Structure 1
Amino acid sequence: MYLEKLILVNFQSHKYTEFNFEPGLNVIVGESDRGKTAVLRALRWLFYNEPKGTEFIRVGEKEARVTAYFSNGLILSRERSERKNRYVLMKPGEEPVVFEKFGQEVPPEIVEALRIHKVRLDKDWEVALNLGSQLEPPFLLFESGTRKAKAIGQFQGVHLLDYAAKSVSRDIRSIDEEIRYKNNEITALKEKLTEFTDLPELFAQLNNLKTRKFIAKDAFERLNTLNALWENLIQTKQKIRENQQILKTLATVSIEKYEKIEALYKHYQDLTRLKTTYQGIILKKEEAMEIVKLTTTMPEVQELHSDALNLYFKVKTLRQLLEKYQKSREQRKRLMFFIRELKPVEETNQEYQNLLPKYRLWQDLVKSQREWQKLLKHKNYYAGIIYKYRKIPEASQKVKELEEKLKRYEEFCHLLTTLQTIKHKKKEQEKVVEKITRQVVNLQNQYREELLKAGRCPTCNTPLDEATVRKIIFS
């Protein structure tokens, strides 16, 4: 690829200038101050975005433009005004691409398309090898020996050896520092681990104490249950004493009397039913008497009208009521007799009904007494267990201390694992350092052979011998 055409529009002294180039050497000639150097500035502005600003715009004009046509069909245009600053890249068969707001650097897409850029020979030294400015001395001719050596060395790839050597030295120092730091850590950890030599024994004691703690906890729970049962037992005893007192008063009542009371109670229930029947008869009698009163007070007209019919029914009703009345009087007499006889039975039955719940309560108390005796045995058993583990609070404190030590032991185990990992990494780094050292030695030997083979220094062109080469390599 070569530059075929260059067009300058309003660039310095060029209002509109077009240059056509051929492959090979092209020469631009002309009188002084006619714009020859401006062509180089235009190319430098196009390729390297130098110079900055708008001072190169032709006087009286507002916009400058430089356009380059290349042999592969690529077209690059650079435009600048007070408000516009852009590149326009046109590739064959593609739409134009506009680049704006790119700052002081050339857009990477343009650098990639042109393959023209400055070469960095040192950290603060860049050289434009494709273009030279007016009055610029030949490349490297007037540079210092150090810069010449750096440039030639970079062209030959020697700077890679320097960079590799510096990187290896830096890595070696870093690894040595890390090794010293890790060794100090290992020593400190070993000193700290000596404080935990008795941890296995303490761990066994801790497990034993945990087992005892669990047993004691179960015993305490059972003791609380026993205390609750003990309080219930005390209340039950009190009730038993009260019921025993009641039972003493009932001791004089025999079974025969009890059976007699039951028979009288049944007879009393029968009499109660008869009494209810009698009360119903009395009500009917009162109703009949009311009917009789109503029949005697009826008006004469109504009495004459229904005399034949009503008189018959009244007589019949009165006879029936009279019979019922007589029977009721006899039943009433018998009932009154039985009621007078059954008053003591009613009182006895009432007393029986009152004593029956107390008798059942006495049976429950006897059952509770048996259970209490069993609980008392359990209480004595667990009291022995509690006495056996009376030193549990001290053990709990010791358990806490052991748990704290166990936690510290686990932390140190983790640190020990980390230490082993660090040792493993250290061995790997040592292998890498050894490998890099061998590579550096091989590269130094190759560099030494190349220098001896050349016979002269690439920088100052002085003759070289074995001692001088060794001094250059190891200095």
Structure 2
Amino acid sequence: MNWIKEVRLENFQSHLDTSIEFSKGLNVIVGQSDSGKTAILRGIRWVLFNQPRGTDFMRVSSDFVRVTLTFANEVSIIRERTSSKNRYIIKKVGKEDLVLEGFGIHVPQEVLDAHQIYPLRIDRDMELLLNVSQQLDGPFLLEQTASVRAKTIGRISGAHYIDMAVRDTTKDVAKLQQQTKHVEAEVNILKEKIEPYQFLDHARVALDQSEQKYRDLKRKDEKLSKLENLKNSLHDLSISEETVKKHLSVLKGIDEWERSLERLQFINEKKRSFQLKRSQIAEIRKTMDTCKLWIQKTNGVDVANKNVTVIVQKYNLLTQLNYLKKTSNRLESSLLDVQTTISKTAFATLSEEQKVQKLLQKVKRARELKRLEQSYKTLNNQMISMKRTIERLEEATMSEEKYKQLQSNIQGLESYQLLLEKLQDVNKRLKDGATFIAKKKQEELQLRTNYEQRLVEKEECPTCGGQLNRSAIKQLLNGG
């Protein structure tokens, strides 16, 4: 049997923080008036049955009130109320604390199940708290009315079940009597209504016989239809047989025809292969002719390269001669300036020997300039001939470029062939990858089905251990 082992009152009426331990059996609380004896019973009543209600029992100047009951089975129930909280806390050894809030005026069922001290319900609107009485409560049931005492005694003794059975039986009997009268009235009405239809039994027998005859006629008609279909089929088969015989007479030599057809197909395949090879040979010959033409056009490439080297050398020499010509022109201009200066300074006193030497130098310089002028003309003529040679070699250069372009096209074709092979390999790998993905998706679907079956059989969440039904499993697997 469970009993209260300890009670602790905090800010409950006159108790600031009071703890009282009880022993099993009878316990007596003794003290002066207004020392808080009744408050202890009121605190126990407040925890067990949420009475009294409100906050009038909260100690003055306090912001909370709390009463804790500890039972012999080591279960503790804490009733706590503040300006913003109104809750129960149930503590059990080895289990997490259970906090209950928002329960209204009724004690939560979890609290009643924890302390197992239930009020005695007399009827729908009345219940008695037999385990804890108020200070001025009278002896048991003496202050109650006669009807309440009778209900209470009946409830305690179990006589209310007999009263309920008698009341329900009386209601059922009255209801059945009403239903019997109603059914009898309906039976009389139905008897009056079915009198004009007494002939229906004979009519039903006749109708059954007619239906049997109709079914027989229908079955015979179906047989007749089948026989007509068989007759038509036989006629069609006879015609088909004659046609087949004609065809067989025509196709007596079909074996020889098949052998001839095979020979013709073989000859046709050889013809197609020969035509393909012929077109390939024609294409190769055309390509060879083109290559020979380009080779003929490019025979003088080596000679042209040598001529280009000679032309470059002569062009460099021509550049030097142009430079010398410019130098000669500058010297001639200087010579004229000197002659002008000499003519202007003839009156100067220079010795004849010095004059002769200067003249000799100038004559030597003039001869050198004439020789350079002749060389310049020769180089100029050579340069003109070289330009003509270069113009003739432009066509050879263009041929060489076309030959290089042909070689580049051949290399490009080979690279395209390599790319085509790579593309085929990539397509094959893509196809293999698609097959692999489809296989893995099938395996995933099978594993998902097995997992769902395991969850349905287990009916328990593998993570939290909670109960699962089929709809919750579907939602869990779909990521809900």
TM exceeding 0.5 = no
Q: TM-score, normalization: structure 2?
A: 0.41
Q: TM-score, normalization: structure 1?
A: 0.42
Choose between structure 1 and 2 for higher RCO, CA contacts under 8 A separated by at least 6 residues: 1
